[in-house]
Amino acid sequence: MDAFVITGGKKLKGDISLGGAKNVAIKICLASLLTDDELILHNVPRISDVTIMLELLKHLGVSVLWQEDILRIQNGNVKKFHVPLEVGARLRTSSMVLGPLLARYGQAIIPNPGGCRIGARPIDRHIEGLRQMGATINYNSSDGYFYAKTDGLSGITYTFPKNTHTGTETLILASVLAKGRTILKNAAEEVEVDDLIACLSQMGANIKRSNPREITIDGVSILGGTEYSIMPDRNEEVTFAIASAITNGHVTVYKSQRNVLGVFLDTFRKAGGVVDAVDDHTTIYARSGQLHATDIVTASYPGFMTDWQAPWAVLMTQAVGVSTIHETVFESRFSYVQEIKKMGAEIEYFDPNIPEPENFYNFNWKDRIQGYHQGIRIKGPTKLHNAILEMDDLRAGATLVLAALAAPGESYIHGIEQIDRGYEKIEQRLQKLGADITRIHT
């Protein structure tokens, strides 16, 4: 197992370019199942989540070829419809293979999805949609597999009961080849969904966002290949912006996604961050003096993303006053708190007073484990110190790296396979900014 050794306390300065968006790349890779023609993809991040998805596709019979920075994917020999447990259980988005397999081949057997352990991550929202489109889907609790079949999917009007990014994309992937029109209401607004829509449209799909939270798909009989460039990863940009502020440095981000970071940038400025727009796709991040406390409530796009709250929490350990974070998207996303408390952070849990939590929260309130909390208070500024730390999910992993960069002394971070899931060569890129970070094998 690998670990990071970080000697913190150094100001990060320099230039960095964003990689491709993880939350687009793995979905567009799945779209290869919808055509026999080749997909030629640019700006695909070489991260473990993408590698696992490609392993899944190769198991099904899809051809995968890297040519330097270009990924070529071609279907045409799919004869297996069974995703092995050892592949599917490592990636929560493996459940999304249901959509294209049912649409194209009428059958699929998939394991309960894995990936990072953030709450229950229910897939009931897109299972129900696929059933309404004409699929029979049964779950066998003894072996942990979903068994799905259909004689043909048909278009429906479906309203998601809660916001769901992967649910929206699963039904999009199922609907593009379905018979008739599908209208998805209360659909996810995330820009990554729109990037998937743009790629599918180039492949010949008839799909549009008819309203901010409504997507209309008219099924077609066949899709073709295309050449497409994945959008840059806005979550990376947030990480580097926070890295600049927490180390009192300045970082220039190329391929900036500033136009889709509105609520983050507003909050960053209020907290004392500096955002200098050089041009449409170049942004300099820094800070002006003392940081200020903030109150955050996570929400689906265009709100403050749940993926940003853990890195934001470590930044608020350096702000004057008491900051709060109210997590509304997942029921369990404060696993990092105990780790950064080891470094001297002053954080306490609290439970926001919500009269109708089942309606307010985006997760299924009835599935929430007793003893979990939805809010934290962070008292600052606190002088962080070095520690031995353990990652257990992707964004928490980025948080611990940020904390270690800010803390004087030598910190060890274990479980870094989590950060490899979403950040390509993160230690090499941070080294170019002046970070003292080394990957070691333990």
Catalytic amino acids?
116
Can you say whether residue 317 is alpha, beta or left, with left for phi > 0 and alpha for psi between -120 and 50 degrees? alpha
Token pair listed for 2: 């690998």
Can you tell me which residue has the tokens 């073709």? 224
Token pair listed for 387: 């520690």
CA atoms within 13 A on the CB side of 94: 33
For residue 200, give Cα distances in angstroms to 183, 204, 263, 264, 442: 16, 7, 28, 29, 43
